[in-house]
Copies of this chain bind each other. A is one copy, B any other.
Amino acid sequence: MKLCKVIGFATSSIKYEGLSPYKLLVLKTIDNNGLPSGDAFLAVDTLGAGFSDVVAVTTGVTATNAVNNKDLPVDAAVIAILDHVSINKKEIHTKNKEE
């Protein structure tokens, strides 16, 4: 799964019919320091992820499992909002409890 930060949102009025219930998040993968890097992409979310949350994103057809609908045309979905991420025994992300 990609290790990502939520950096924005997208809205659409003309879309594949079954997509209406889902929020479209804009995300980037994070680097060793927890900073967003690379190209932005879109994922659906059913867990209530918010701006600046660090999340695990499943990509490809397994995203349809995250929404429990194998017929939905989605290739990326948030499957976990992460509390802690460590790299080489150093914490690179700790979820802010007030958030």
Residues of A in contact with B (beta carbons under 8 Å apart): 1-3, 7-16, 19, 24, 26, 29-32, 37-43, 47-48, 51, 56, 58-66, 71-77, 79-89, 92
Contacts and interface: CB of A to CB of B under 8 A. Distances in A.
**Count of chain copies:** 5
Given A12-B80, A15-B47, A16-B80, A62 B75 contact: yes
Contact of A62 (B12, B38, B39, B64): B64
| Chain A interface SS verdict (over half) | strand
Contact of A58 (B32, B75, B80): B75
A77 B71 CA distance: 14
Contacts of A58: 73-75
Contacts of A15: 47, 56, 79-81
B16 A10 contact: no
Nearest to A30: B40
B71 A2 contact: no
Contacts of A81: 12-15
